[in-house]
Structure 1
Amino acid sequence: MMEPIFLQPVFKERIWGGTALRDRFGYAIPSDHTGECWAISGHPHGQSTVLNGEYKGMGLGDLWKKHRKELFGDDQNEVFPLLTKILDANSDLSVQVHPDDEYAGIHENGELGKTECWYIIDCKPGAELVYGHHARTKAELEHMINNGEWDRLLRRVPIRPGDFLFVPSGTIHALCEGTLVLETQQSSDTTYRVYDYDRTDEKGNKRELHLDKALDVITVPHRDQDLHFEKEAHEGATITCFIRSKYFSVYKWEISGEGEFPKTAPYLLVSVIGGSGSVTVGDKSFPLKKGDHFILPNPVQSFRTEGKMEWIVSHP
């Protein structure tokens, strides 16, 4: 398949969701409480669907199972390894933590662990998020959780549009009200909820917490991540590498004008988060707009871009 694989997202309603996915990206969302766009997903809880070419109508997870070698090279993962989301935090998300691969494999029926990262597309003035905690020992962590000492325990950090944060498994975290984020993560849907602000649903029920498992996996003491961004200027684009980790590498492409690029990984996941333009493979050009998501598969060796766009690009 010598062309991009364009994908139809899956949308998830959430108690904390809003309308930004419609208002900012033009998506046809299911309700005014839509919190998640699973944009590039092979996970069984929400597969993206191929929109073009010979595999049109196929789910990404199924595509991986049936055509992995020809489309994705020598990747040995049993499942499509990454998941790209856009999250609309119209109100605060629960404070949560994710397990690593070993713990999830044992306790979550073989599910992958969940290391993730966030690119802040937009946020309200003065926005912040929960990232880490102040407990020095497991005993202190358990005491503070059991006694509801959330203001003492939780570490809050200010954010601005354009910020990038790496969230390894074991990190307590939560997006807060007024934040629009692109998330790149392992393909996992395992979350342990630590605190939910005592919220109730329309029936007066609080959401389930998972304190035993959370206490098993929270990293103590919290460790900040020392990130060093690498920026390269090319003809037609400036490329910033945010991170190269065990699970994924993530970049921001700021495209202006025309440029030609080799594909530097077996396959690339691309989300257009701003602007418009085109990508050309061989002699075939494909128009792009904000909100488009596609994969450049293994047979594509190089591609050309034109326009003024912002991309978030990732690969395993």
Structure 2
Amino acid sequence: MYAEPIFLQPVFKDRIWGGTKLRDVFGYDIPSETTGECWGISAHPNGPSTILNGPLQGMTLDEAWQKHRGLFAGQEGNDFPLLVKILDAKTNLSVQVHPDDDYAQQEEDEPFGKTECWYVIDCEEGAELVYGHHAKSKSEFQRMVDDGEWDKLLRKVKIQPGDFVYVPNGTIHAIGAGTMILETQQSSDVTYRVYDYDRKDDQGNTRELHIKQSIEVAMIPHQDADFQPVEHKQDGLEIQKLIKESYFTVYHWNLNGKAENLENSMYLLVSVLDGEGEIETQSGASSFKKGDHFIIPSTVKKFSLTGKASFIASHSTK
């Protein structure tokens, strides 16, 4: 029986809005001074993570999903369902929206749409997000886009470190400049851009917009999602269930000391935001540190954590 955590090598993405905080804060060996994304736990074909340890060392996460489904509670489906990223937004991301599963399958031949959520790791004072809009109908939305009334159309929200934001498919959104987040999402790379601040890439070209698709998939009028975090403590581990919805359940863990006999009924995706320590399973102890990403497979029924650290953990809800 496979009885140890599966540590993963992240994949990095250069982005027009990216910076160097993935190196400066987490110590990653980033490929450029405009590295915007760390795909920490990914089986997506655009950037699959590679397994760093154990019997499956050198295998991609997608290969492990296809060949060793018992590690993932025998969950059905051709595609690994979730993707975990850390994003460094040195400048504003484009204003965008993602489709639901049906639209992605029918229009893009992709297995998943994209519902996501963000944990704000850090941000500059006064940082904000675009979250939703003020249009009451699709015709009003179209008119405001045509007239360039972005300040009137877009709804902006102030943020601070530790905030959690749930972004269901259809939500108009954008991460603002000076923000670092951990994103848990469906394993999808389908994005429709609504507005990109008229900026140009290093070739002098503006990026493609997708106004038609955006209006087709956007939630109009906007409605905030209703959810309530739940907290409890087990030994030295403070556990905050940030959200449980139809695609994923996401937790913030704060470890100070030791927590024993933690149960794992599904399989857990774990990203270390800060600190260090050890995870102990029936096969022995493995050390972890800030910036590590690992999966606790479903074959590990119980585990213990020791150290001082904070994490975002998640699992598929289906």
Q: Which residue of 1 aligns with 2:198?
A: 198
- State the number of aligned residues: 315
CA distance in structure 1 between the partners assigned to 2:229 and 2:33 by the alignment: 36
Q: TM-score, normalised by structure 2?
A: 0.98
Q: Which residue of 1 aligns with 2:241?
A: 241
* Conserved? CA contact 2:164–2:242, under 8 Å: yes
Q: Which residue of 1 aligns with 2:274?
A: 274
Deviates more, 1:279-288 or 1:79-88: 279-288
Q: TM-score, normalised by structure 1?
A: 0.98
Q: Which residue of 2 aligns with 1:125?
A: 125
Cα deviation code 1:40-98 (max 9, x no counterpart): 00000000000000110011011101111x21113112211000000000000000000
Contiguous gaps of at least 5 residues in structure 1: none
Q: Which residue of 1 aligns with 2:24?
A: 23
CA distance in structure 2 between the partners assigned to 1:263 and 1:46 by the alignment: 30
SS of residue paired to 2:62 = helix
Q: CA deviation at 1:262?
A: 3.1
CA distance in structure 1 between the partners assigned to 2:208 and 2:295 by the alignment: 36
CA distance in structure 2 between the partners assigned to 1:173 and 1:67 by the alignment: 36
Task: Give the letter for the 1:12 counterpart.
Answer: K
Q: CA deviation at 1:263?
A: 2.6
Q: CA deviation at 1:111?
A: 3.3
Runs of 4+ in 1 over 4 A off after TM superposition: none
| C-alpha distance 90-299 of structure 1, shift in aligned 2 (>3 A) | same
CA distance in structure 2 between the partners assigned to 1:227 and 1:179 by the alignment: 23
Q: CA deviation at 1:261?
A: 3.2
* Conserved? CA contact 1:104–1:110, under 8 Å: yes
Q: Which residue of 2 aligns with 1:63?
A: 64
Q: Which residue of 2 aligns with 1:178?
A: 178
Cα deviation code 1:83-117 (max 9, x no counterpart): 00000000000000000000000011133100000
Share of identical aligned residues, percent?
A: 56
CA distance in structure 2 between the partners assigned to 1:227 and 1:296 by the alignment: 26
Task: Give the letter for the 1:50 counterpart.
Answer: I
* Conserved? CA contact 1:192–1:209, under 8 Å: yes
Q: Which residue of 2 aligns with 1:100?
A: 100
Contiguous gaps of at least 5 residues in structure 2: none
CA distance in structure 1 between the partners assigned to 2:68 and 2:187 by the alignment: 18
Q: Which residue of 2 aligns with 1:79?
A: 79
RMSD: 0.8
* Conserved? CA contact 1:111–1:190, under 8 Å: no
CA distance in structure 2 between the partners assigned to 1:101 and 1:82 by the alignment: 13
CA distance in structure 2 between the partners assigned to 1:106 and 1:255 by the alignment: 44
Q: Which residue of 2 aligns with 1:53?
A: 54
Q: Which residue of 1 aligns with 2:230?
A: 230
Q: Which residue of 2 aligns with 1:38?
A: 39
Cα deviation code 1:227-283 (max 9, x no counterpart): 211010110100000000000000001001011133343100000001111101125
SS of residue paired to 2:254 = strand
* Conserved? CA contact 2:3–2:283, under 8 Å: no
CA distance in structure 1 between the partners assigned to 2:41 and 2:130 by the alignment: 25
Cα deviation code 1:128-170 (max 9, x no counterpart): 0000000011111111111111000000000000000000000
